[in-house]
């Protein structure tokens, strides 16, 4: 065999070896990489971007929502501009800080909490959000499963105001119990939905409205919950 050909085969073998090592490492650290892709997502949230994104059409087709695999997360990061961020949610007592996206597209739920109804308004009606439950306890809505308790304070922000809610209910429900997202006459609620540990059922966290502040008039620790965890410009 000519020396040139032997050299070419040798380099091909090395390339294949490197590719196999890279593939093996990707498989071994799949969950860690996926968690990093989710946790490192930090969109800019301003009054201007919130207003712009609120006018855009969201995807509310729950039947298209997929489980959160690596491909879904990677695709979401590549198409992060398709996520219409309209605010943020903070629950400091369980270390939960997430952007809120308009709708429940796979891209939105891969990196953020998603609104479950069109034209929701913070501080009125039953404001409902969905989020994935991941193996990593601190990612997406996982803290709700592991740390949430009745009595904890929850906050929403649209970059202009902050809305405070107090947790009043923590309940496991059937996946078909879609009525929990409906408005309740005379009540202002915040309802958060995530999967239970099996993935077959759902965990519902519900809070009742307490008060609203303009962002700069909110208690300093509440302001900090947003300003120190998001790429915001308040």
Supply the residues annotated as catalytic.
132, 195
Token look-up 């790429």 returns: 231
Tokens matching residue 51: 């207003």
Q: Which helix (H) or strand (E) holds 70?
A: helix 70-78
Residue 64 makes CB contacts below 8 A (sequence gap 6+) with: 105, 106
Q: Which helix (H) or strand (E) holds 127?
A: strand 126-130
Token look-up 């803290």 returns: 143
Residue 200 makes CB contacts below 8 A (sequence gap 6+) with: 175
Q: Do residues 113 and 100 lie in contact, with contact meaning Cβ atoms separated by under 8 Å?
A: yes
Tokens matching residue 15: 């390339």
In this structure, the number of other CB atoms found within 10 A of the CB of residue 89 comes to: 26
């Amino acid at each position: 065999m000519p020396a040139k050909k032997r050299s070419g085969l040798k380099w091909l073998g090395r390339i294949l070896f490197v590719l196999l090592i890279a593939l093996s490492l990707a498989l071994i650290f799949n969950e860690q990489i996926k968690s990093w892709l989710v946790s490192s997502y930090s969109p800019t949230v301003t009054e201007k971007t919130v207003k712009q994104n609120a006018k855009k059409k969201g995807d509310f087709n729950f039947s298209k929502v997929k489980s959160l695999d690596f491909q879904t997360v990677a695709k979401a990061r590549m198409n992060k501009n398709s996520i219409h961020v309209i605010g943020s949610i903070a629950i400091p007592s369980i270390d939960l800080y997430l952007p809120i996206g308009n709708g429940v597209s796979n891209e939105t739920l891969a990196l953020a909490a998603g609104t479950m109804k069109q034209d929701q308004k913070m501080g009125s009606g039953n404001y409902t959000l969905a989020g994935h439950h991941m193996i990593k306890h601190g990612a997406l809505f996982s803290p709700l499963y592991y740390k949430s308790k009745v009595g904890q304070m929850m906050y929403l922000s649209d970059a202009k105001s902050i809305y405070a809610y107090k947790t009043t209910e923590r309940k496991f429900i059937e996946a078909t119990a879609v009525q929990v997202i409906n408005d309740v006459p005379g009540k202002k609620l915040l309802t958060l939905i995530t999967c239970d540990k099996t993935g077959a059922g759902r965990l519902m966290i519900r809070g009742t409205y307490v008060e609203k502040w303009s962002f700069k008039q909110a208690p300093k620790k509440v302001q900090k919950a947003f300003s120190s965890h998001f790429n915001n410009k308040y």
